[in-house]
């Protein structure tokens, strides 16, 4: 019985390490392709209304891609956080301060989850007659995000990671993504 448990434990550890490597490598190695739109996925806004560090890095990457001419507009997708701020409005204000024209920013304030952001972006893309999108988030979030966007019916998806790597929270975030990844792979999506 001990041999069997050791064997199972070794396989579980090996599978965990493989999953972590796939998530990290996908996020770090993937690069954005020329697209119609960029979506910056939301994250925490502090009680004082300032974007948290992760969110600033995401927004900075979105602004950089826009300024490089990778897309014509940026969707900022977030919801009402527990701190009481509309993430999308805070994100838009931050991008405007970075020199992004207000007319190039589309606010999605119903992006409470990655799946909700995917649905909302699909609707925005249909209204804009857009065919392709770049997703900007943290490296560990990009594989699951791209799966959600593709499964919701957006065929042309590329991703780009924010330039913030290896925070202490990643020790929690990366393993959590394994569970989220399988959830997104097996869930059925509403495609209407």
Query: pLDDT tens digits for 131-165?
Result: 999 999 998 899 999 999 998 899 899 999 998 76
Among candidate residues 122, 28, 107, 29, the one with its CA nearest the CA of residue 73 = 107
The 3-class secondary structure across 1-49, one letter per residue, is CHHHHHHHHHHHHHHHHHHHHHHHHHHHHCCCCCCCEEEEECCCECCCC
Q: What is the mean pLDDT of residues 111-127?
A: 93
Domain containing 181: what range?
Answer: 2-186
Q: What's the count of helices (H) and strands (E) in the chain, helices before strands?
A: 6, 5
Angstrom distance (rounded) from CA 87 to CA 112: 9
Q: Residue 192 falls within a domain, yes or no?
A: no
pLDDT tens profile 34-77: 999 999 999 888 889 899 998 999 999 999 999 999 999 999 99
Contacts of 30 (CB under 8 A, 6+ apart): 142, 158, 159, 160, 161
Local structure of 81: helix, strand or coil: coil
Q: Residue 150 falls within a domain, yes or no?
A: yes
Element (H, E) at 93: helix 87-97
Q: Residue 60 falls within a domain, yes or no?
A: yes
CATH number of the domain that residue 118 is part of: 3.40.50.620
How many distinct structural domains can be found in the chain?
Answer: 1
Q: How far is CA 155 from the centre of its chain?
A: 16
pLDDT band at 88 (very low <50, low <70, confident <90, very high): very high
Question: pTM score, two decimals?
Answer: 0.87
Q: Residue 43 falls within a domain, yes or no?
A: yes
């Amino acid at each position: 019985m001990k041999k069997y448990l050791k064997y199972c434990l070794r396989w579980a550890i090996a599978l965990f390490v493989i999953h972590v490597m796939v998530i990290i490598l996908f996020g770090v190695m993937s690069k954005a392709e020329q697209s119609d739109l960029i979506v910056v996925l939301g994250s925490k806004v502090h009680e004082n209304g300032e974007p948290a560090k992760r969110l600033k890095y995401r927004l900075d990457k979105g602004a950089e891609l826009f300024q490089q001419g990778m897309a014509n507009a940026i969707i900022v997708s977030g919801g009402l956080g527990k701190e009481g701020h509309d993430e999308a409005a805070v994100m838009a204000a931050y991008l405007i301060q970075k020199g992004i024209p207000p007319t190039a920013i589309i606010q999605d304030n119903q992006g409470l989850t990655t799946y909700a952001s995917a649905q909302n972006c699909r609707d925005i893309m249909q209204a804009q007659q857009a065919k392709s999108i770049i997703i900007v988030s943290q490296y560990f979030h990009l594989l699951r995000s791209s799966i959600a966007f593709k499964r919701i019916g957006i065929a042309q998806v590329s991703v780009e990671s924010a330039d913030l790597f290896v925070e202490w929270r990643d020790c929690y975030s990366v393993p959590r993504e394994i569970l989220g990844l399988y959830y997104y792979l097996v869930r059925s999506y509403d495609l209407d």
